[in-house]
A and B are shown apart, each in its own frame.
Chain A
Amino acid sequence: NAGVTQTPKFRVLKTGQSMTLLCAQDMNHEYMYWYRQDPGMGLRLIHYSVGEGTTAKGEVPDGYNVSRLKKQNFLLGLESAAPSQTSVYFCASSTGLATTDTQYFGPGTRLTVL
């Protein structure tokens, strides 16, 4: 039982490049989330999904897109990376809504945009 895994662990991009971050969970959770973590700001919700085939915007969605084609996977895409997107990205999943349920987090992806 791997829990929540994220690929890749580290990445360096140049401004304007694109990339996709992959999150996978093996706990059969309905809900999945993408957060970014910046110094002094805690975690901020980018996008979330309440089930396969559904996605919704979170607190800071601009510049990101997501897809949930399979229940166990949640992809985060950056179409044209900007230095402001330098951050640590965490994926999480939960049985129910994060407001009342325990979230299980992946180890994170450290992204640097030059």
Chain B
Amino acid sequence: AQSVTQPDIHITVSEGASLELRCNYSYGATPYLFWYVQSPGQGLQLLLKYFSGDTLVQGIKGFEAEFKRSQSSFNLRKPSVHWSDAAEYFCAVGYTGGFKTIFGAGTRLFVKA
């Protein structure tokens, strides 16, 4: 069965430091991969998505993610974190022929001054 694992429940980084959030998926074929962000009290917003082509994907708010098929991973990165990036981040996977997107449990990011 398809699944998505986000190994880190929460991460704390200093403002200005780099960030990497991990995501691993389980699926036999090439998946469609998404990262969403949820700010406190808000719904989810798409940061970026990967369907095919270049494995390094650029998103909004300065985020990028890299698809590594050999590691079944789609890690999210940002070179310099801002206090406004504090939120919960969800990795998700979809696939052709399916009807639902499978979400990871989320990683909560805390940013310290």
Binding site for B on A (CB under 8 A): 4, 40-45, 48, 56, 58-59, 90, 92, 97-100, 102-103, 105-108
Contact = CB atoms under 8 A, between A and B. Distances in A.
B43 A42 contact: no
Given A58-B99, A100-B94, 20 more contacts: A4-B43, A40-B105, A41-B105, A42-B4, A42-B103, A42-B104, A42-B105, A43-B90, A43-B103, A92-B43, A97-B94, A98-B99, A98-B100, A99-B98, A99-B99, A100-B32, A102-B46, A103-B46, A105-B43, A108-B43
In this complex, the member of A41, A98, A99 whose beta carbon has the largest number of chain B beta carbons within 10 angstroms is A99
Contacts of A102: 34, 46, 49
A107 B42 contact: yes
Contacts of A98: 94, 99-101
B9 A103 contact: no
B34 to A, nearest CB: 8
Contacts of B105: 40-42
Contacts of A108: 41-43
A42 B94 contact: no
Can you list the 3 inter-chain pairs with the closest CB atoms, starting with the nearest? A99-B94, A105-B43, A42-B103
Contact of A100 (B43, B51, B104): B51
7 contacts: A42-B4, A48-B100, A58-B100, A99-B99, A100-B51, A103-B46, A107-B42
Interface string B1-40: 0001000010000000000000000000000101010000
